């Protein structure tokens, strides 16, 4: 694991790391899921493989998740206690309300974590893989939405650490640029 940057915002620690999200010992990792919650390629497939068959069965019982929303399952064989599955938008050139849907995915994942008393949450770079969302714009939305969410919910949120777990240094650098733009 390589830490790229750390900051404190409204009583919460924020970090950008390059690591395999399936190895993190946190309360919850956030999966960039598909609407069927069926596993697939990229980080979604890696999380499903690492968590084991029980995760697939738990996701089937949930029955799906619309774009921009989030669902919670146990982490099963993962070191993380829970998996928050959120569905980001497929990039269609910016004409399909993708920015708002991505903001919603991040905010709903944070709401779900706070509602369930989770303190440490690690995000994958939602929608930047096969969904094609431009990585620099996605990082700006991820950091901005998280910062706005923290500022709006300081007294009741309960979340003490948010990690942006990037799969590459390029992704981490986009997040670091977004931190700088927010003065973090």
Residues with a catalytic annotation lie at 44
146-165 per-residue burial string, b: 16 or more CB within 10 A, e: under 16: bbebbeebeeebebeebbbb
Are the beta carbons of 144 and 106 closer than 8 angstroms?
no
C-alpha 46: how far from chain center: 14
3 state SS of 5 = strand
Nearest CA to 157 out of 105, 122, 123, 107 is that of 107
DSSP-derived pairing of the beta strands 120-123 and 161-166? parallel
């Amino acid at each position: 694991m390589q830490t790229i940057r750390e900051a404190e915002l409204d009583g919460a620690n924020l970090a950008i790391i390059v690591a395999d999200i399936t190895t993190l010992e946190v309360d919850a990792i956030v999966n960039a899921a598909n609407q069927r919650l069926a596993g697939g390629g990229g980080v979604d497939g890696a999380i499903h493989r690492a968590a084991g068959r029980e995760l697939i069965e738990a996701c089937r019982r949930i029955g799906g998740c619309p774009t921009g929303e989030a669902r919670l399952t146990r982490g099963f064989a993962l070191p993380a206690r829970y998996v928050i599955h959120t569905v980001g938008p497929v990039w269609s050139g910016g004409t399909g309300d993708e920015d708002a849907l991505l903001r919603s995915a991040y905010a709903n994942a944070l709401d779900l974590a706070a509602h369930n008393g989770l303190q440490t949450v690690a995000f994958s770079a939602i929608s930047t893989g096969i969904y094609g969302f431009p990585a620099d714009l996605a990082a700006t939305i991820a950091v901005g939405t998280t910062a706005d969410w923290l500022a709006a919910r300081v007294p009741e949120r309960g979340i003490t650490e948010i990690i942006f777990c990037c799969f590459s240094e390029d992704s981490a650098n986009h997040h670091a640029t977004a931190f700088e733009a927010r003065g973090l």
